[in-house]
Each structure stands twice: as C-alpha cells, then as structure tokens.
C-alpha cells in the first residue's frame, strides 16, 4: 500500500505497529505461559504499550489529517470540510465507518494497556497471562480490520485544487452531545472485553471459582456505567436533535446498544449470587460471553451496511470478518464451557425461590427474555430478507408491547429483592420489611390518580415505582443509621442509589410515553396562539448564514415570557436540511418546539407552522441517569465487605437466620 | 474444593512432571551427577505424589452431577419453546413491508415519511394513481397534517373520482377538495394545492371563476418550475375561454 501523505504513512505505520505488537504479544504470551517462561512473561505488558502507542499515533495522524484537510485520504474526502467547526471536526473521526473503527481500536488498545498496567506485578499468573492473550487477540482482530479492509488511511481518488469535502453527516454536527455519546458508548462496549477475557482465561486455566470475578468486578461495573451513560446520552441527543420529541425509537442501532446492556445488567446482578453462594457459574460466564458476542453482533449490524439508520454507517467490506469473529467467539466459548463442565457445577442449590438469590434468578430470567425479544425483533427482518428475499420492518409497537410487561415485572423485582434475605424468607420477615415499600407504592398510585393519570400501564408503573423506591430508600435509611455516611457506599447501598435512578427513569418514561400531546400550530407575527394551556407568539423569522449552513429560526415567545428559537438548518455542502428543536424544560414538563419542515419559512415572513409537543416529566430521565452514575460510583467504593470465598454455602445453624 | 485451588494444584502437577522430565534428560546428557539426580528425583516424586493425591481428593470433592429430572427439564423446555414461539408469532404479526429509506426496526413517529414520500412520488410519476394515493394515505396516518401528502392525496383522489360512478364521484371530489383545503390551512404558502384546486375547478367542474382565483394563488406562491409552466399555460387557456 503506497502512502499518499505523511498522515497516511504514519497512520498506517501506527496501525501496523499495533497489529504486529498484539499478534506477536498473543503468540509470545501464550507460548510463555505454556513453557512456564516467567521472565518472558514479564514482557507481556510491553506489547500492550506498543499497541497503545501505535493506536495513539494513528489517531493523532487521523486528527491531523482532518485538521489540515488532507484530501489525499479517501476518508477525509468523505467527512472533512473546511467549513466544519473545530469541535465537530474532532468528532468527524467517528462519523463514518473507518474512523469509528479507529476509535474502537484506540479504546481497545487503551483497555489492554490498562489491564497490563493493573496486573503488571502478576504477569506470571496464568490467569492474567491468558486474559492478556485474549485481549491481544481481540485487539489484533480490530487492528487487522482497521489496517486492511476498513482502513481510514486509504488513498482517495485525485481531487482538484480548491476541492472541499461535504463534512460529517449534518446530524452529527448539530449538537455538542455527539462529541461524548460515541466515545462513552465505546468505553462501555469495549470495556466488557476485560471481564470476557478473564472469563475465557478462567475457563482455560480451570480457575473458574470466584477469584476471577473479584479481579473483574470494577471493570464490569465501570463498563456497564459507560454503556449506560452512552445509551442515555444517545437518547438525549435524539431528543435534542431529531425533532420528533422522543428519546427512543427502537432503531436497530439503538437495539444493538441495548442488547449488551441487558445481558451486562443481568451479569452484574447474578455475579452476586456466585460470589455469595458459589452458584450460577456457567450462567455468569455465559452472560459475559453473550455480552461480548452481542457487542460484536452490534458492530456487525451497525457497520456492515445492512441497515439504514440515523447513525448507522454506509456499506463496508467488513461484514464477513465481523460475522466470522462472532462465530469464533461463540463456538470457541461454548467448547471451553463444555470442556470445563465438571468444575462449573454449583456446590449448592437455591433453597427457596423467596430469597435474594431467587429474586436475582428471576431478574436474570427477565433480562434474558428482554434481550431475546429485542434480538428477535432486530434480526427478524434480516432473516426474512435472507430466506425469502422480502423486505420487512418490525415496528415499534412490537417492542413496546413486549417491553412494557417485562419492565413492570423488573420494577416489581426491584421492590422486592432488596428486602429479601439470602437463602429463605419467612412470612413475618416479609410482612415487616415490605410494610413501608408497600405504603410508598400505594401512596404513589394515589398521587398519580389524584393528578389525573389514567391507563393501567402507567398507573401500574407509578405504583410499582413507589414500591421499588420505598424498598431502596428503606435500605439506604437502615444502612446510614447503622454506618453513617458509609451507609451510602459499597455495592449494596450504591446499588440502591442506582435503583432510585432507574425508578426516576421509569417514571419519566411512563409519563412522557403515555401523556405526551402534540399539535401543529400556525403562528403569525402579532397574534398570540393558545394551545394546551400555553401561549405561542411569533416575534420574527431570522436567518443566519455562514460558509457551512443557513439557519432559519423562528423566535417564539412562550407563555409571554422567554423566547425560544426552533430552527431549520440547511447544510450548504451537502444540501441537506434538518430541523433543530428548542425546548422549554421544567421539573414537571417540557414544551418542545420544532418548525414544521414541510415548507421552510422565509426569513422576514410573518407566519410559520410550529409542531409542539408537551412532554410531562421527561427531565426525570436525565436526573435519574445522573443518579445512576452517582450510584455506580458509590457502588465501586469498597464498603464493608466480607471475603467472597468465605464458606457462605455451609449449612446455616438453626436459629441463625432469625437472628439476622 | 474451590476450583481455583484445584487449578493451582494441577498447575503444580504439570510443573513437577515437567521438572522430572527435564531432570531425566539432563541426567542422560551428564549434566547432573547420579547422586544429585537421585536426591532431586526423589524430592520431585514425593511432591508430585502429594499433589496428585490432593488433586484426586479435590476432584472427588467437586459437586457431583446431580441426577437429571427429565420431566422437569421437559416441562421447562416446553415453556421456553412455547414462549419463544409466541414471541416469534408476535414479531411476524408486527412486521410489515419495508419501503426504501425505512429502517428495519422501530422508527421514530413520522420517520418513515421520507421513504413513503419517495415511493409515492415514484409511483405517481409511473402513473400508478391508486398505489401512489395509498402511500400518501400512509403518510397521513403518521403525519395527518403533512402538507405535501394532503395536497397530492387530494389531487389523486380527484383523478380517481373521475372514474368512480355517478354516486361516488361527487363524494370523492368533495373529499379531494377537503384534503387540498386542509393542505392550504396547514401551509398557507404552499403553491401545489392551489394549482390542483384550479385544475379541478376548471376541468372537472367547469368553474372557471374559482379556477382563475386558485391559479393566481398558485402562481403567487412560487410553484416549482414545471408546475409554473403548466399553470401559466392553464391561465392562458382560461383567458381564452372567458368572454
């Protein structure tokens, strides 16, 4: 491959360095473990540093190419433009297939280096060694794809003097969240490679006890947190940019991010059962494998060009590689699980379904069912197209109809699980512990009816949210009474704060999905229009024009107070027009204003048509998300912890349970 | 026994057996004298034997395979298959035809509109009046106030009204006019519905006065170039008819 420029030469060199370092690192580390060559095993982290250096070099060269508008590169021809502002020019790197894979490569190299650094004193431990081998193999695969079939440094066709590219997709240069949403989502996706690598290492070494779980507990937790915040920022971006007033549309790319989140969430719950009771070993390993495999499947769905989505990438030549890698991951993992079957058996069984472990199991069944529903709905059109050559779509009603009961059942479990003891619960204990949560549920339901909520699903959601919230607050109150401020940290208590965040999100979703109303409102300068308890007055229609875009915005005075400016932006290089909503936010409702895009209002004209959505309580989605992140941080702090390998599976002395 | 401890013992066993093998080779090549060889071999052998015994004890202590309750397994398998089949059925029932530009799943309300409009325009230009009207109708199901869909839905209904029977024709024509008027209400600056109302008034009802007013409104609202040419000719035709 001939380098077209310095950027191309050094960028390719960086990718080649990473590919070589990870490939050689994988072979050398595996060989050293087999040969018990402790001294050469100490070199394993060096391959990780080299790989990271290569990835960083490539990313720097890509950023340089975008900043200097190096149109000798095909990728810069595709997404570069002299009119793109500096901030969005940085984000242009992940606005198309090849650059997004480069970001993937960088994050993966970063995680591999972080693992090598964290375990640098234990390189002679076969568990760590094999985990590094797996990380190297995964890194080598993505480095190969990025260096070969999806190279961001490939030379483009010659362009004339004065050529300027179209810039990134207009939707990706319209809001600041585009800078954060993809990298955070990638940190979540790719972060799960670490627990996956340790799970495979545990299978290879036979150390399938609880040790590897402890090594990866925080890695899994932080990956989950990044995936969560990435998904939520995606919803926020959709709300702020797409102009349809919603946060989630069951788009295949959204589904692709939700799938590993569902299995990952199941894992961070069920892992507690293994740590405490030594049970669910096969299940936990399977969940991690599923989570990792689903990230690869999601990458395939997003980057193979088989779908047409707001944020999917155009067709590439990498679908075969991704599918092949997915198959290797799934088949290889299943073979390893079969091989280690005798060691994965649980030392005990669940004593009673009405117990903490019983609730965790039910939680896992529901999350798995949820993942199956989403996976089936997402893959169904692809399967039908492959088998019958028929183009079909699975609409949002299917996903809504299936996810509503599952979500309600999960809310119920969130209420009941925290009050359940391990092993077995007596009726008296349940009556005592569920007293306040039950009243909180009844209170929430009564309040919802009082403020005019109707419909069985939202009312049930509010009631169950109150119930679950009561259980979480009860737990936190008891913990802080016992331990002071330390009652807020640690896995169990931090987890309750996460639950409170999830409950706020559930309330926000139930309210905004069930009670949103919208209308098209024609507005004229000098006339005040009333609708839905609000007044709208068009002040003027203005246009701002620069090299990049023409923005026509309508200055709207809402309720006689603040002025909002929904706009229609026409990106001059691409000739594409997109709407930009303007939102009045309060704790009880958002008033979401967009310009109806059928007829673009002319600057200076005296009338326009507004599309207005009134969305109750949607701000609680973002507040709940913040609480989830806070809870995750608190959960990551070491609380008062018992050794997970203490013999909790031993029979409990008679009467001991009652004393708890 | 904890599987991690068992794995460590197995690791130690491999190490001791490898060491014994290495020792044999070194002794064979004369690198280790007979006395040292004997001492080292005995040491390794004793340690290996201890480790092997510990491994055997550990394996025996692993949880045994529990007898399988086939009826329970069959029951759960049936439940899972039934639920999966029900979900599959629901998916199949919830799926529909995918239009160009449409995503394979979900989609934001109104998100299908661009694809449907492309399809509708293409069918209209291909002369498929019924198909195009159906697609504009599908747009209106998602966006009842979509000005273009209202205008072209009205126009296509008016064309179809010509072929309808005497009883149906006036009803269809009135529906068409209502759709066009709604389009004007929604987007007062949109030329196309005025143009269509002008043609309907003149050609289908012989009302040249209304036709002239609507044609004028059409031209005042800056219609697309091809439509402008058509309407300008149409106005000339109207002037020729007028006394």
pLDDT tens, A235-278?
A: 998 888 877 788 888 988 899 999 999 999 999 999 888 887 77
Q: A191, A349, A370: which is closest to A273 by C-alpha?
A: A349
Q: Which of A279-283, B108-112, B151-155 is least confident? A: B108-112
B119 vs A contacts (CB less than 8 Å): none
Q: What is the pLDDT of residue B1?
A: 67
Of the listed ranges A112-126, A255-269, B1-15, the least confidently predicted one is B1-15
Residue B224 exposed, middle or buried by CB count within 10 Å (0-12, 13-18, 19+): exposed
| Residue range B74-83: mean pLDDT, rounded | 90
Q: Which of A49-58, A94-103, B123-132 has the lowest mean pLDDT?
A: B123-132
The structural domain count of chain B equals 2
- Could you say which of B3, B111, B190 has the minimum Cβ distance to residue A206? B3
Task: Determine what percent of chain A is predicted with pLDDT higher than 90.
Answer: 53
- Counting residues of chain B whose pLDDT is more than 70, the rounded percentage is 93
CATH number for the domain that contains residue B170: 1.25.40.10
Comparing A378 with B110, the larger pLDDT belongs to A378
B176/chain A closest Cα distance in angstroms: 20
Which chain A residues are Cβ-neighbours of B220 within 8 angstroms? none
Q: What band does B242 get if pLDDT is binned at 50, 70 and 90?
A: low
| Per-residue pLDDT tens over the stretch B189-199 | 788 899 999 99
Are B160 and B130 spatial neighbours (Cβ–Cβ below 8 Å)?
yes
* pLDDT tens digits for range A304-319: 655 555 455 555 578 8
- Judged by average pLDDT, the poorest of A39-53, A77-91, A598-612, A642-656 is A642-656
Q: Which residues of A touch B109 (CB under 8 A)?
A: 244, 246
pLDDT for position B112: 64
Residues B121 and B222 in one domain: yes
Give the C-alpha separation, A293 to A330, whole Å: 7
Residue B213 sits in the same domain as residue B121:
yes
Minimum Cα–Cα distance from B145: chain A residue: A520
Does pLDDT of A424 surpass 90? Answer: no
Say which residue, A618 or B112, is predicted with more confidence: A618
Cα–Cα distance measured from residue A440 to residue A464, given in angstroms and rounded to the nearest whole number: 9
Measured distance CA(A88)–CA(A180) in Å, rounded:
11
Half-sphere exposure of A6 (CA within 13 A, CB side): 7
Q: Is the pLDDT of residue A659 over 60?
A: no
At A54, phi and psi to the nearest 5? -60, -45
B96 touches A at CB < 8 Å: yes
pLDDT of the residue at A574: 63
- pLDDT tens for residues A382-417? 888 888 888 888 888 899 999 999 999 999 999 999
* Residues of A in Cβ contact (< 8 Å) with B11: 126, 205
* pLDDT tops 70 at residue A111: yes
Q: Which segments within chain B are labelled E, that is strand?
A: 95-97
Task: Please tell me which residue of chain B has the smallest CA distance to A395.
Answer: B106
How far does B242 lie from chain A, in Å, by closest CA?
Answer: 34
Q: A397-405 contacts: CB < 8 A, separation 24 or more?
A: A397/B94, A398/B90, A398/B91, A398/B94, A398/B95, A399/A250, A399/A255, A399/A373, A399/A374, A399/B105, A399/B106, A400/A250, A401/B90, A401/B94, A402/A373, A402/A377, A402/B87, A402/B90, A403/A370, A403/A373, A403/A374, A404/A457
Q: How far apart are CA A228 and CA A234, in angstroms?
A: 10
Phi, psi angle pair for A536, to nearest 5°: -130, 130
Chain B residues inside the 8 Å CB shell of A308: 101-104
On average, the pLDDT of chain A sits at: 87
Characterize the bridge pairing of strands A567-571 and A576-580. antiparallel
B126 and B48 fall within a common domain: no
Ramachandran angles phi, psi of A205, nearest 5°: -85, -10
Rounded to an integer, what distance in angstroms lies between the CA atom of residue A458 and that of residue A515? 9
Q: Is residue B202 part of a domain?
A: yes
> Of B20, B36, B61, which residue sits at a domain end?
B61
pLDDT of residue B115: 65
Residue with tokens 């990473």: A18
Query: Quick one: pLDDT at residue A538?
Result: 92
pLDDT at A660: 37
Tokens of A480: 């802080």
Full domain range(s) for residue B57: 3-61
Average confidence (pLDDT) over A454-458: 90
Any domain includes B89: no
A191-205, B22-36, B143-157: which has the highest mean pLDDT?
A191-205
Looking at the fold, whether B164 and B229 belong to one and the same domain comes out as yes
Q: Do the Cβ atoms of A599 and B64 come within 8 Å? A: no
pTM above 0.90, yes or no: no
Q: Is B90 on the interface with A (CB under 8 A)?
A: yes
Kindly tell me if the per-residue pLDDT of A644 is higher than 50. no
Range with lowest mean pLDDT among A76-85, A223-232, A251-260, B230-239: B230-239
Residues in chain B: 243
Do B53 and B135 lie in one domain? The reply is no
Instruction: Give the pLDDT confidence score for residue A599 in this predicted structure.
Output: 60
For residue B170, the model assigns a pLDDT of: 81
Is the model's pLDDT at A629 over the cut of 90?
A: yes
Backbone angles phi, psi at A638, to 5 degrees: -75, 115
The closest alpha carbon to A618, from A583, A588, A581, A582, belongs to: A588
Q: How many beta-carbon pairs under 8 angstroms link A with B?
A: 160
- Predicted confidence at residue A460, as pLDDT, reads 95
Which residues on A lie below 8 Å from B97 (Cβ)? 391-393
For residue B55, being part of any structural domain is answered with: yes
pLDDT given for residue A39 in this prediction: 85
Separation of alpha carbons A77 and A163, rounded Å? 9
Please give the pLDDT value at position A653: 42
- The predicted pLDDT at position A383 comes to 87
Examine the pLDDT at A587 and tell me if it is beyond 90.
yes
Q: Does residue B151 contact residue B193 with C-beta atoms inside 8 Å? A: yes
Helix, strand, or coil here: A476?
A: helix
Q: What percent of chain A has pLDDT over 70?
A: 92
Which residues sit opposite A592 in a β-bridge? A583, A613
Q: In angstroms, how far is CA A249 from the centroid of its own chain?
A: 15
Please answer whether residues B227 and B215 qualify as being in contact, where contact means their C-beta atoms are separated by less than 8 angstroms.
no
- Picking from B45, B61, B77, the residue at the C-terminal end of a domain is B61
CA atoms within 13 A on the CB side of A572: 13
Question: What pLDDT score does B100 carry?
Answer: 61
Model confidence at A642: pLDDT above 60: no
pLDDT value for A645:
44
The answer to whether position B69 is within a domain reads no
B42 with B153, same domain?
no
Q: How do the residues of chain B divide into helix, strand and coil, expressed in percent and rounded to 5?
A: 75, 0, 20
Whole-number mean pLDDT of chain B?
83
Give the rounded distance of the alpha carbon of A205 from its chain centre. Answer: 31
Nearest of A584, A588, A592 to residue A617 by alpha carbon: A588
Question: pLDDT tens digits for A266-280?
Answer: 999 998 888 877 788
Residue A151, SS3 per DSSP? coil
Asked whether residue B66 is domain-assigned, the answer is no
Q: Give the pLDDT score at B111.
A: 60
What gap in Å lies between CA A459 and CA A626, rounded to an integer? 25
Residue of chain A minimizing CA distance to B63: A347
Of B124, B176, B183, the residue nearest B154 (C-alpha): B176
A567-582: pLDDT as tens digits? 888 777 666 677 789 9
Q: B205 vs A647, which has greater pLDDT?
A: B205
Whether A2 has a pLDDT exceeding 50, the answer reads: no
With respect to residue B121, please indicate whether it lies within any of the assigned structural domains. Answer: yes
**Which one has a higher pLDDT value, A643 or A140?**
A140
User: Has residue B221 been placed in a domain?
Assistant: yes
Residues B136, B54, single domain; the answer is no
Inter-chain touch A251–B147, beta carbons under 8 Å: no
What average pLDDT does range A588-595 have in this prediction? 92
- Indicate yes or no: CB of B106 within 8 angstroms of CB of A373: no
Give the mean model confidence (pLDDT) for residues B30-53.
Answer: 88
- Section A468-472 average pLDDT: 95
Token reading at B124: 């209209």
Q: Single out the residue of A90, A69, A64 nearest to residue A80, CA to CA.
A: A69
Same-domain check for residues B142 and B235? yes
Residue with tokens 């169950």: A464
Backbone φ/ψ region at B206: left (φ over 0), alpha (ψ -120 to 50), beta = left
């Amino acid at each position: 491959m001939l380098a077209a420029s310095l950027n191309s030469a050094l960028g390719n060199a960086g990718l080649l360095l990473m590919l070589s370092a990870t490939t050689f690192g994988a072979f050398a580390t595996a060989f050293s473990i087999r040969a018990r060559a402790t001294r050469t095993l100490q070199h394993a982290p060096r391959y990780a540093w080299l790989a990271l250096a290569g990835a960083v070099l490539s990313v720097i060269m890509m950023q340089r190419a975008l900043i200097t508008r190096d149109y000798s590169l095909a990728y810069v021809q595709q997404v570069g433009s002299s009119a793109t502002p500096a901030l969005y020019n940085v984000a242009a790197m992940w606005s198309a297939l090849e650059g997004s894979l480069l970001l993937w490569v960088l994050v993966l190299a970063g995680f591999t280096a972080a693992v090598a650094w964290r375990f640098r004193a234990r390189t002679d431990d076969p568990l760590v060694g094999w985990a590094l081998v797996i990380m190297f193999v995964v890194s080598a695969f993505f480095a190969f794809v990025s260096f070969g079939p999806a190279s961001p440094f490939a030379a483009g066709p010659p362009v004339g003097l004065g050529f300027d590219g179209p810039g990134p997709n207009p939707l990706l240069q319209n809001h600041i969240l585009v800078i954060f949403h993809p990298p955070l989502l990638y940190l979540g996706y790719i972060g799960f490679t670490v627990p996956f690598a340790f799970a495979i290492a545990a299978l290879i070494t036979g150390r399938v006890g609880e040790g590897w779980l402890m090594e990866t507990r925080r890695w899994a937790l932080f990956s989950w947190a990044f995936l969560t915040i990435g998904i939520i920022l995606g919803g926020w971006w959709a709300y702020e940019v797409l102009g349809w007033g919603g946060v989630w549309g069951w788009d295949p790319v959204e589904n692709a991010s939700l799938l590993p989140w569902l299995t990952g969430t199941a894992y961070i719950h069920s892992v507690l059962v293994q740590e405490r009771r030594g049970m669910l070993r096969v299940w936990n390993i399977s969940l991690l494998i599923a989570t990792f495999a689903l990230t690869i499947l999601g990458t395939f769905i997003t980057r193979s060009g088989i779908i047409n989505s707001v944020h999917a990438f155009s067709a590439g030549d990498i679908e075969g590689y991704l599918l092949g890698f997915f198959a290797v991951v799934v088949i290889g993992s299943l073979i390893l699980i079969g091989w280690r079957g005798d060691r994965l058996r649980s030392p005990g069984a669940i004593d009673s379904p009405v117990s903490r472990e019983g609730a965790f199991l039910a939680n896992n069944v529901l999350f798995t069912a949820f993942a199956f529903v989403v996976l089936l709905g997402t893959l169904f059109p692809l399967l039908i197209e492959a088998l019958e050559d028929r183009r079909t779509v699975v609409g949002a009603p299917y996903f809504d109809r299936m996810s509503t009961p599952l979500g309600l059942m999960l809310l119920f479990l969130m209420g009941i699980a925290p009050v359940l003891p391990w092993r077995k619960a007596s009726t008296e204990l349940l009556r005592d512990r569920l007293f306040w949560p039950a009243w909180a549920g009844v209170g929430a339901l009564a309040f919802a009816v009082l403020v005019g909520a109707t419909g069985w699903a939202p009312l049930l959601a509010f009631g169950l949210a109150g119930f679950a919230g009561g259980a979480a607050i009860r737990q936190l109150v008891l913990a802080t009474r016992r331990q002071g401020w330390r009652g807020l940290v640690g896995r169990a208590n931090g987890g309750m704060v996460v639950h409170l965040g999830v409950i706020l999100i559930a309330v926000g979703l139930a309210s905004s999905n069930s009670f949103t109303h919208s209308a098209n409102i024609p507005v004229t300068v000098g006339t005040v229009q009333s609708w839905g308890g609000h007044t709208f007055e068009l002040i003027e229609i203005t246009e701002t024009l620069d090299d990049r875009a023409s923005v026509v915005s309508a200055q709207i005075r809402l309720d006689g107070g603040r002025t909002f400016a929904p706009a229609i932006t026409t990106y001059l290089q691409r000739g594409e027009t997109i709407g930009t909503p303007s939102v009045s936010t309060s704790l009880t409702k958002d008033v979401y204003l967009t310009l109806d895009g059928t007829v673009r209002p002319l600057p200076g004209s005296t009338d326009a048509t507004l599309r207005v959505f009134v969305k109750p309580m949607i701000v609680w989605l973002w507040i709940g998300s913040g609480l989830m992140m806070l809870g995750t941080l608190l959960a990551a702090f070491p609380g008062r912890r018992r050794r997970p390998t203490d013999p909790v599976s031993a029979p409990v002395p008679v009467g001991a349970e009652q004393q708890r | 026994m904890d599987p991690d401890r068992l794995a460590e013992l197995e690791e130690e066993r491999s190490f001791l057996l490898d060491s014994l093998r290495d020792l044999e080779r070194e002794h064979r090549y004369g690198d280790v004298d007979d006395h040292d060889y004997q001492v080292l071999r005995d040491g390794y052998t004793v340690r290996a034997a201890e480790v092997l015994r510990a491994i055997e004890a550990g394996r025996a202590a692993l949880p045994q395979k529990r007898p399988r309750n086939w009826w329970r397994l069959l029951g759960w398998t049936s439940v899972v298959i039934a639920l999966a089949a029900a979900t599959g059925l629901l998916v199949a029932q919830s799926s529909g035809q995918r239009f160009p530009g449409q995503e394979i799943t979900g989609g934001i309300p109104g998100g299908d509109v661009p694809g449907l409009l492309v399809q509708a325009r293409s069918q209209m230009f291909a002369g498929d009046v019924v198909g195009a009207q159906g697609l504009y109708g599908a747009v209106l199901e998602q966006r009842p106030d979509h000005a273009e869909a209202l205008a072209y839905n009205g126009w296509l209904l008016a064309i179809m009204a010509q072929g309808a029977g005497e009883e149906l024709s006036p009803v269809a024509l009135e529906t068409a006019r209502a759709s066009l008027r709604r389009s004007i209400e929604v987007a007062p600056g949109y030329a196309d519905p005025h143009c269509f109302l002008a043609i309907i008034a003149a050609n289908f009802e012989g009302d040249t006065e209304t036709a002239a007013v609507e044609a004028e409104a059409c031209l005042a609202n800056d219609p697309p170039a091809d439509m402008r040419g058509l309407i300008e000719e149409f106005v000339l035709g109207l002037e020729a008819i007028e006394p």
